[in-house]
């Protein structure tokens, strides 16, 4: 199949650059650097699906497994018309780093299908999901590779994956996938987990910068599951949500927005744009607002060398994967912006996915309070570890997080050795 080129900045090149910066800083052994640069496995599949009109359409899907030195591969599956292989490679690498930073016994994996689910019926999406599951079934499993939701996928798709895999095995295997609905083995607290981790990161960053969150203003780029729940949780801390956006644009109100009312408007109109009492702005303008807290919760490559000098937020907590380039990282660090990187800030999702996996393996069910308390403990511990390294080594938080992750993965690789 012909290679589909990613939009610039190429996410995989960004991921490799981030790894290179850290390898140089920590004088990483060249052998370990070489191992971490390339994923262990890349699977591309053709997915024929019978559409509602009776015709067969062939979609392209990917599953990339980066490294499993610390445990089974773990990572989401996204449905998006701009999915490309280099994006999935990058996301798999970032998942390896993310799991290592928060101390999870997982390696990184990621999947994607080139499609536009907004233009597909529920039946077409279900047939696509089940067919994709059958195509990648040989390389996934509870102790091999455990998928989860990502962009434009949810518990619904995870339930279909769980069911398809279980039908093939002949018995229920809920632990094959996480992010499922509660009724079929999902975990309480999972839906809000990524957002909760992102906002915990904001709170911990505010403590270090002496920012009073009860008087802070906040903007959120992206108003899907992560952005919406981040808005709710940030508001609980007392912050004023002045701007949110989606793929069609953003809205701004200096007096603040009601997250629930905006969500209801978006559900009805399929966009936040046009929300009563708000001013329309672009996604680019949202990033440059005069605010205290910025939460990028959309796609990669949003904060670049071009716009980083104009970003005024004191704290940035990355709810999305890969929103900031290495060049922008340096500019923000020099400006004194405290940026909490994706591999730490949005690790709440995979952390509670780990809790769901544990519950499924033992056929237990934890209370939401137990889940949230365990998430709080892991996020606070990981934040302190990363922040302390950044202060000691005089590097920004992303480099510090990578240093911790690479050391943990590298040690596991050396201890396990090469076989055969």
Residue 1 included in any domain: no
pLDDT of residue 256: 97
Same-domain pairing of 170 and 208: no
Residue 63 included in any domain: yes
Residues lower than pLDDT 50 in the chain = none
The half-sphere exposure of 320 on its side-chain side, counting CA atoms within 13 A, is: 25
Is there a contact between 11 and 90 (Cβ–Cβ < 8 Å)? yes
Residue 20 included in any domain: no
Same-domain pairing of 112 and 212: no
CATH number, domain at 341? 3.40.50.720
Task: Extract long-range pairs of 164-173: CB within 8 Å, 24+ residues apart.
Answer: 164/129, 164/130, 164/133, 164/134, 164/137, 165/133, 165/137, 165/140, 165/141, 168/134, 168/137, 173/141, 173/142
Same-domain pairing of 340 and 224: yes
Task: Identify the domain boundary among 144, 176, 208.
Answer: 176
Instruction: Give CA–CA dist 141/358, Å, rounded.
Output: 14
Same-domain pairing of 223 and 277: yes
In the chain, what's the furthest Cα-to-Cα distance?
65
Task: Identify the domain boundary among 312, 345, 378.
Answer: 345
Is there a contact between 100 and 408 (Cβ–Cβ < 8 Å)? yes
Same-domain pairing of 244 and 115: no
Count up the domains in the chain and report the number.
2
Coil, helix or strand at residue 319: coil
Task: Identify the domain boundary among 345, 364, 386.
Answer: 345
Pairing mode, strands 73-80 and 56-67: unpaired
Among candidate residues 25, 37, 98, 110, the one labeled active-site is: 110
CA 140, distance to chain mean position in Å, is 20
Q: Identify whether 17 is a catalytic site residue.
A: no
- Phi first, then psi: give them for residue 288, nearest 5 degrees: -105, 10
- Phi first, then psi: give them for residue 162, nearest 5 degrees: -55, -45
Same-domain pairing of 153 and 255: no
Give residue 80's domain range: 38-176
Same-domain pairing of 227 and 167: no
| pLDDT over 70 percentage in the chain | 99
Same-domain pairing of 153 and 204: no
pLDDT of residue 299: 81
Residue 158 included in any domain: yes
Residue 266 included in any domain: yes
Same-domain pairing of 197 and 59: no
pLDDT of residue 83: 95
Same-domain pairing of 243 and 169: no
CATH number, domain at 161? 3.40.50.10860
Residue 47 included in any domain: yes
Q: Which of 242, 229, 390, 400 has the alpha carbon at shortest distance from 319?
A: 229
Residue 352 included in any domain: no
pLDDT of residue 2: 60
pLDDT of residue 36: 97
Same-domain pairing of 223 and 168: no
Q: How open is the CA angle 100-106-111, to the nearest 5 degrees?
A: 105
Instruction: Give CA–CA dist 200/196, Å, rounded.
Output: 6
Strand order in the sheet with 73-80: 41-50, 56-67, 107-114, 73-80, 145-149
Residue 391 included in any domain: no
Is there a contact between 343 and 18 (Cβ–Cβ < 8 Å)? no
Same-domain pairing of 197 and 276: yes
């Amino acid at each position: 199949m012909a290679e589909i080129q990613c939009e610039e900045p190429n996410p995989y090149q960004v991921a490799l650059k981030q790894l290179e910066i850290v390898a140089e800083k920590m004088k990483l052994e060249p052998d370990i650097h070489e191992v971490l640069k390339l994923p262990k496995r890349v699977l591309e599949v053709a997915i024929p699906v019978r559409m509602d009109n009776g015709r067969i359409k062939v979609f392209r899907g990917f599953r990339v497994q980066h490294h499993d030195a610390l445990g089974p591969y773990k990572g989401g599956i996204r449905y998006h018309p701009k999915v490309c292989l280099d994006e999935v490679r990058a996301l798999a690498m970032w998942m390896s780093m993310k799991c290592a930073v928060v101390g999870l016994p997982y390696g990184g994996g990621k999947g994607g299908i080139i499609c536009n689910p907004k233009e597909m019926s529920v039946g077409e999406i279900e047939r696509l999901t089940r067919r994709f599951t059958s195509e990648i079934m040989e390389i996934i499993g509870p102790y091999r590779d455990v998928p989860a939701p990502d962009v434009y996928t949810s518990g619904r798709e995870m339930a279909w994956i769980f069911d398809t895999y279980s039908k093939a095995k002949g018995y229920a295997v809920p632990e094959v996938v996480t992010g499922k609905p509660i009724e079929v083995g999902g975990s309480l607290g999972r839906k809000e987990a990524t957002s909760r981790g992102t906002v915990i990161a904001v709170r911990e960053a505010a403590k270090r910068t002496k920012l009073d969150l009860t008087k802070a203003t906040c903007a959120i780029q992206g108003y899907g599951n992560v952005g919406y729940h981040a808005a709710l949780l940030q508001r609980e801390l007392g912050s004023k949500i002045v701007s949110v956006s989606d793929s069609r644009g953003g809205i701004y109100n200096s007096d603040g927005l009601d997250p629930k009312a905006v969500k209801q408007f978006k559900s009805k109109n399929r966009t936040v744009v046009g929300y009563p009492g708000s001013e329309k702005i672009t996604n680019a303008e949202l990033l440059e607002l005069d605010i205290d807290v910025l939460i990028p919760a959309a796609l990669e490559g949003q904060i670049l060398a071009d716009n980083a000098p104009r970003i005024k937020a004191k704290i940035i907590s990355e709810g999305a994967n890969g929103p900031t380039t290495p060049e922008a990282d340096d500019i923000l660090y020099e400006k004194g912006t405290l940026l909490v990187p994706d591999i730490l800030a949005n690790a709440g999702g995979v952390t509670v996915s780990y809790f769901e996996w544990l519950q499924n393996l033992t056929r237990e069910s934890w209370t939401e309070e137990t889940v949230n308390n365990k998430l709080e403990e892991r996020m606070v511990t990981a934040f302190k570890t990363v922040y302390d390294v950044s202060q000691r080594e005089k590097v920004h938080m992303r480099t510090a997080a990578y240093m911790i992750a690479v050391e943990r993965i590298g040690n596991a690789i050396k201890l396990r050795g090469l076989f055969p």
